[in-house]
Amino acid sequence: MNEKRLELAARRGALGVRIAGQREALARHARGLSPLFAGGDAALRGIDWLKLHPGAVFAAVAAAVVLRPRRVWRWAARGVFVWRGWQKLRSLLH
């Protein structure tokens, strides 16, 4: 019985080493996906912000109803342009 336990402990140790190697390989392969995960995290933070600030959503919808849709799209395009420029400037500064 003692010999069987030793054999099982040795096998368990070997499996632990094998699992550690697999974890390292997975982490190495997943490094390329980290920008995707960062983008997903940013999207989730944005959704959380919208949940905490429903008035902002209401104001945006009200503005879209009051203003003409063309004007809303034009301002949205400008906003996206400014936001992208800010993101590039931030990345250059870091």
pLDDT tens, position by position, 18-56: 999 999 999 998 888 888 888 889 999 999 999 999 999
Strand runs (DSSP E) across 1-94, as ranges? none
Tokens of 21: 């190697």
At 53, give phi and psi (nearest 5°).
-125, 70
Question: Which residues make Cβ contacts (< 8 Å) with residue 56, sequence separation at least 6?
Answer: 50
Its pTM stands at: 0.45
Query: How many CA atoms lie within 13 Å of 24's alpha carbon, on the beta-carbon side?
Result: 6
